[in-house]
Amino acid sequence: FGPLAGAGGLFGTAADLLSFGESRLDRPSPAPLRPQGLPRHLSGVALGWMVSGSEGEVRWHDGLARGTRSGLGFNLQSGAVVALLARGTDSPLGMRGAMPALLLSLLGAGGAGG
């Protein structure tokens, strides 16, 4: 795939993702944008992140590339960081929205937006 490789051709482990997520907790987080028409589980968007939670405290992103799914999220208030990795073309988590729902549940956003 060259330059069109999923995720820019980057590879890593769950530990790598957790380290990256932890590093985001110590950085100032810009205020999220709140465009109209967001799905219920989003309270906004920020550079590279979806934003959820009643106060926009949860930042997360997920994706699918080459038959694998991954998700990373962190809670700015609690300091929790979650990395999810799943292998296979059919996610064991089910439909497309299942990975975000699981991330949000584990991070204390309960899947609900602002």
Report pLDDT digits (tens) over 101-111.
889 999 988 64
Q: What is the pTM of this model?
A: 0.81
Amino acid at 14: A
3-state helix, strand, coil in the chain (%, to 5): 25, 25, 50
Under 8 Å between Cβ of 59 and 46:
yes
Which residue intervals of the chain are DSSP H helices? 14-25, 98-106
Give per-residue pLDDT as tens, 55-65: 889 999 988 77
SS3 for 9? helix
